[in-house]
Structure 1
Amino acid sequence: MTKFRFSENNNGIGVTVHEADLSLGLTPSQILQIQELLNRYKVVIFKNQNLNDDQLSEFAFRFGPPFVPDKNFPVLGSQDSGNSIVIVGNQANEYSKSYLGHQEVLPHSDHQWLKCPSSASLLYALDIHLNSAPTVWFDMVQAYNMLDSEIKSIIEEINSITYNPFYRPFGSVSAKYVDRDIDIPPGDTFPHPLVRTHPLTKEKILYLNIAYELDFVGVPYKVGNELFSKLYDHIINLSYKYEHQWHNGDLVFWDNRSTIHYRPSFDSSIRRVLKRVTIAGEMPY
């Protein structure tokens, strides 16, 4: 088989690839096809996979080099900096370290607080029990496209700062526009364009999470907070999103530049174990 068959999701984000066995490796044309699907649909789903760690990494790094955490700038799993695979798990007691547990994970883009946020990530479902949480991806290209021209003109030249949540107690940070006269969150910061450009598709992206502490560079608090509230409501009500109900063997590959993703909370007694691999990225522009 030279190319994969695939089907589009109904809401414009996400595509499912059919009859793919990623353990067999990929031809050059299949690698190019998957990259094209990722560029166009932002989330690519493979069902019924059976991959060991080497095969999972081999697939991921066909699309870019590994994301390597810097010990000076903590991220999820940076304690396991020698391993490119991070366990995202609840009731995952057989692993030495697992992360995120069962609590809600608010809509975010991975590593947005770093100088070079990651470009893409993969989650591979190992052991998913009934009534565990789905993952939801939002299309932030469409989020930008659907803004009115007045808001677009306002945000075009604004840089935003996302404060690293891992300098705070784990799980204590939620979406908040920072009043710098009252409290500046700890850690070094790296401003990025609020409207970034995708380096491959050239599309404009509303590069904004609604999970962490943030502010807009040089914008007075009252003006910035009102703008953030408008953009927050806009994202929450976005129709261009994909909700994935996990099954064992699912592998989901997403563009971290042009999406944000969310996970609701679920019962702490329910087992939900996945492996995550992350691909390095560039400075946003």
Structure 2
Amino acid sequence: MFLDTPLKGISLYSIEAPEHGGETRFLNAARAFRDMPESLKKRIEGLSARHVYDYNANRGDARPDPSKLSDKVDTSVYPVVWVHPESGTPLLYISKLFTTEVIGLSREESDKLLDDLFAYLDSIPDEYAHKWRPGDLIIWDNLHLQHARADFPETERRALRRVPIALKVA
């Protein structure tokens, strides 16, 4: 989300997996938009959002604080409802970890709208949750599916290798 050209896909390969927790959870962004209440769809119509990755500010499961961003952040702006470049499917294109603001709204309005959108996303059950075993490989459409890691005990190890798949831009 924070790159100039979003990743088309991602693959993860498991080297070590915890006994408890550590699953990768997936949420279908197309279904999230399709099933969204009409009142929320109207609020986001035509809006764009800034997405940021900053090693200093992206921590935990909260939005990065714009006041704590370094001057070397990766940042991009995309429509909140982005159309998949291959399927033509509208997607809800926001992330609790990367989306910092809705462009053109005051900080208060932006925070309120993002809080409402993230509450909606949190109310949706996972499309799929993968319990890792060493040797597992998963490849997914990174535009249609949002992903997140479930917590696991700090006494256990989780080691995955990630390979990004670039989006071909015409």
Q: TM-score, with normalisation over the residues of structure 2?
A: 0.86
Distance 1:132 1:234, change over 3 A: closer
Which whole-Å CA distance do the structure 2 matches of 1:207 and 1:265 have between them? Answer: 23
Pick the aligned partner of 1:225 from 92, 107, 111. Answer: 111
Q: Secondary structure at the match of 2:14?
A: strand
The answer to whether structure 1 residue 274 and structure 2 residue 168 are counterparts is no
Shift of 1:176: 2.8
Which whole-Å CA distance do the structure 2 matches of 1:190 and 1:228 have between them? Answer: 17
The answer to whether structure 1 residue 185 and structure 2 residue 69 are counterparts is yes
C-alpha contact 2:49 2:99 (8 A) present in aligned 1: no
Alpha carbon RMSD of aligned pairs, Å?
Answer: 2.2
Distance 1:265 1:177, change over 3 A: closer
Q: Secondary structure at the match of 1:248?
A: coil
Q: Provide the residue aligned with 1:142 in structure 2.
A: 31
Q: Secondary structure at the match of 1:214?
A: strand
Runs of 4+ displaced beyond 6 Å? none
Q: Which structure shows the higher strand fraction?
A: 2
Shift of 1:240: 4.6
Give CA deviations for 1:210-232 in whole Å, capped at 9, x if unaligned. Answer: 11351011111222111111101
Which whole-Å CA distance do the structure 1 matches of 2:84 and 2:123 have between them? Answer: 23
Distance 1:267 1:239, change over 3 A: closer
Q: Provide the residue aligned with 1:122 in structure 2.
A: 11
Unpaired runs of 5+ residues, structure 2, are none
Which whole-Å CA distance do the structure 2 matches of 1:194 and 1:136 have between them? Answer: 21
Look at both structures and tell me which one has the larger radius of gyration over its CA atoms: 1
C-alpha contact 1:163 1:212 (8 A) present in aligned 2: yes
Q: Provide the residue aligned with 2:62 in structure 1.
A: 175
Which whole-Å CA distance do the structure 1 matches of 2:34 and 2:151 have between them? Answer: 30
Unpaired runs of 5+ residues, structure 1, are 1-111
Which whole-Å CA distance do the structure 2 matches of 1:194 and 1:213 have between them? Answer: 10
Give CA deviations for 1:64-121 in whole Å, capped at 9, x if unaligned. Answer: xxxxxxxxxxxxxxxxxxxxxxxxxxxxxxxxxxxxxxxxxxxxxxxx1111121100
Which whole-Å CA distance do the structure 2 matches of 1:205 and 1:229 have between them? Answer: 18
Give CA deviations for 1:258-279 in whole Å, capped at 9, x if unaligned. Answer: 1211112222332322221110
C-alpha contact 2:21 2:150 (8 A) present in aligned 1: no
Which whole-Å CA distance do the structure 1 matches of 2:151 and 2:86 have between them? Answer: 34
* Mapping for residues 1-285 of structure 1, pairs under 5 Å: 112-166=1-55, 168=56, 172=59, 174-176=61-63, 183=67, 185-186=69-70, 187=73, 189-212=75-98, 214-281=100-167
Q: TM-score, with normalisation over the residues of structure 1?
A: 0.53
Number of residue pairs matched by the alignment: 167
Q: Secondary structure at the match of 1:176?
A: coil
Which whole-Å CA distance do the structure 2 matches of 1:217 and 1:173 have between them? Answer: 24
Distance 1:177 1:227, change over 3 A: farther
Shift of 1:129: 4.4
